[in-house]
């Protein structure tokens, strides 16, 4: 995508977030836009950094490790992990990321806790909920959420909120509303929900973090 398009699209997405926030009686600044850069190379990402975007997300540790150290040299940007994390990569993830949105099982909670104790770095964590109880999907079952949150607190993970990816091809609003209720019931303020196709809906329902890739960069190869 030509360079100009990146900043134009960024402005459009920000405007839509601001409009959805205003309609919901919220401040636009209460919504963090995470630009999801998976599969995109440095040449595609740099224009967004130049346009002032400073929070980015990747879904794989390996890819982020290869791409971001160089990009981050010149500008301070925050990097979030939004994809599934293997326990044996917990320490590497903590070294790379400022937030982890995919905490979804006790073994990972313990691996992250250990790695945080060892490194002294404590990135904000979101507990991912399998909000539609789909088999094969990341996220803890709704029924297991309270127990997992208790384990995360015991391991001193700084849990900031909940995250979900609703099922494809269905109206996402009811799932966003359920995640918002679960967060409220758990006393958590953060809500990581909403992607390119549904981030305005997510903001209307209370998203504090939206994860947007395609609307900023175009379709992934």
Ligand X SMILES: *Cc1c(COP(=O)(O)O)cnc(C)c1O
Provide the minimum distance between the beta carbon of 136 and ligand X in the complex, in angstroms, as a whole number. 15
Q: Which stretch binds ligand X (CB under 6 A): 12-20, 24-32, 73-81, 213-221?
A: 213-221
**By the rule CB under 6 A, 33 interacts with ligand X:** no
**By the rule CB under 6 A, 212 interacts with ligand X:** yes
Number of C-beta neighbours around residue 92 at 10 A: 16
**By the rule CB under 6 A, 83 interacts with ligand X:** yes
Provide the minimum distance between the beta carbon of 28 and ligand X in the complex, in angstroms, as a whole number. 19
Number of C-beta neighbours around residue 26 at 10 A: 18
**By the rule CB under 6 A, 213 interacts with ligand X:** yes
**By the rule CB under 6 A, 100 interacts with ligand X:** no
Provide the minimum distance between the beta carbon of 215 and ligand X in the complex, in angstroms, as a whole number. 6
Determine the straight-line distance between the first and last CA of the chain, rounded to whole angstroms. Answer: 12
Q: Which stretch binds ligand X (CB under 6 A): 8-16, 61-69, 167-175, 212-220?
A: 212-220
- Secondary structure of the chain as H, E, C letters: CCHHHHHHHHHHHHHHHHHHHHHCCCCHHHCEEEEECCCCCHHHHHHHHHCCCCEEEECCHHHHHHHHHHHHHHCCCEEEECCCCCHHHHHHHHHHCCEEEEECCHHHHHHHHHHHHHHCCCCEEEEEEECCCCCCCCCEEHHHHHHHHHHHHHCCCCEEEEECCCCCCCCCHHHHHHHHHHHHHHCCCEEECCCCCCHHHHHHCCCCEEEECHHHHCCCC
Q: Which is nearer to ligand X, 73 or 219 (CB)?
A: 219
Q: Which stretch binds ligand X (CB under 6 A): 64-72, 114-122, 153-161, 210-218?
A: 210-218
Exactly one of 71, 82, 93, 116 binds ligand X (CB under 6 A); that residue is: 82
**By the rule CB under 6 A, 99 interacts with ligand X:** no
The values of phi and psi at residue 78, to 5°, are -95, 145
Footprint on residues 158-177 left by ligand X (CB under 6 A): 165
Provide the minimum distance between the beta carbon of 154 and ligand X in the complex, in angstroms, as a whole number. 26
Exactly one of 37, 53, 59, 130 binds ligand X (CB under 6 A); that residue is: 59
Please name the residues in contact with 62: beta carbons below 8 A apart, sequence gap of 6 or more.
Answer: none
Exactly one of 195, 202, 205, 207 binds ligand X (CB under 6 A); that residue is: 195
Q: Which is nearer to ligand X, 157 or 210 (CB)?
A: 210
The binding track of 36-55 with respect to ligand X, each residue x by CB under 6 A or -, is x-x-----------------
């Amino acid at each position: 995508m030509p360079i100009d398009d990146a900043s134009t699209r960024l402005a459009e997405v920000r405007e839509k977030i601001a409009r959805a926030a205003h309609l919901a009686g919220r401040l636009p600044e209460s919504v963090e836009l995470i630009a999801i850069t998976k599969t995109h190379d440095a040449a595609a990402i740099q224009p967004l950094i130049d346009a002032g975007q400073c929070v980015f997300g990747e879904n794989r540790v390996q890819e982020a490790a290869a791409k971001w150290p160089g990009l981050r040299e010149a500008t301070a940007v925050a990097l979030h992990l939004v994809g599934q994390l293997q326990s044996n990569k917990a320490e590497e993830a903590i070294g790379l990321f400022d937030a982890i949105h995919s905490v979804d099982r006790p073994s990972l909670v313990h691996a992250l806790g250990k790695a945080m104790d060892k490194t002294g770095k404590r990135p904000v964590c979101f507990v991912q909920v399998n909000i539609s109880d789909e088999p094969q999907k990341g996220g803890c079952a709704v029924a297991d959420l309270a127990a997992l949150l208790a384990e995360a607190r015991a391991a001193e993970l700084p849990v900031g909120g909940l995250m979900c990816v609703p099922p494809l091809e269905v109206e996402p609003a009811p799932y966003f509303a359920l995640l918002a209720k679960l967060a409220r019931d758990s006393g958590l303020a953060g809500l990581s929900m909403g992607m390119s196709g549904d981030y305005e809906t997510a903001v209307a329902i209370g998203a504090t973090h939206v994860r947007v890739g395609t609307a900023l960069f175009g379709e992934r190869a």
